[in-house]
Amino acid sequence: MQLTPLIAVHMSAAIGAVLVGPVALWARKGRAQRPRLHRAFGYAWVTLMIVTAVSAIFIRDFGLPNLAGYTPIHLLVPVTLLGLVGAFYALAKGNIARHRQAMLSLYIGACVVAGGLSLLPQRYLGQLLWSQLGLL
Q: What are phi and psi of 67, to 5 degrees?
A: -130, 105
How many domains does one find in the chain? 1
The pTM of the whole model exceeds 0.85: yes
- Rounded percentage of the chain residues whose pLDDT exceeds 90: 62
Name the amino acid, one letter, at 14.
A
3-state helix, strand, coil in the chain (%, to 5): 70, 0, 25
Q: Give the domain range for residue 82.
A: 5-132
Among the residue ranges 32-36, 43-47, 51-55, the one predicted with the least confidence is 32-36
Residue 18's pLDDT band, with cuts at 50, 70 and 90, is: very high
Residue 127's pLDDT band, with cuts at 50, 70 and 90, is: confident
Report pLDDT digits (tens) over 47-91.
Answer: 999 999 999 999 988 877 889 889 888 899 999 999 999 999 999
Please report how the helices 96-106 and 76-92 are oriented relative to each other, as an axis angle in degrees rounded to 10: 160
Q: What is the Cα–Cα distance from 125 to 1, expressed in whole angstroms?
A: 10
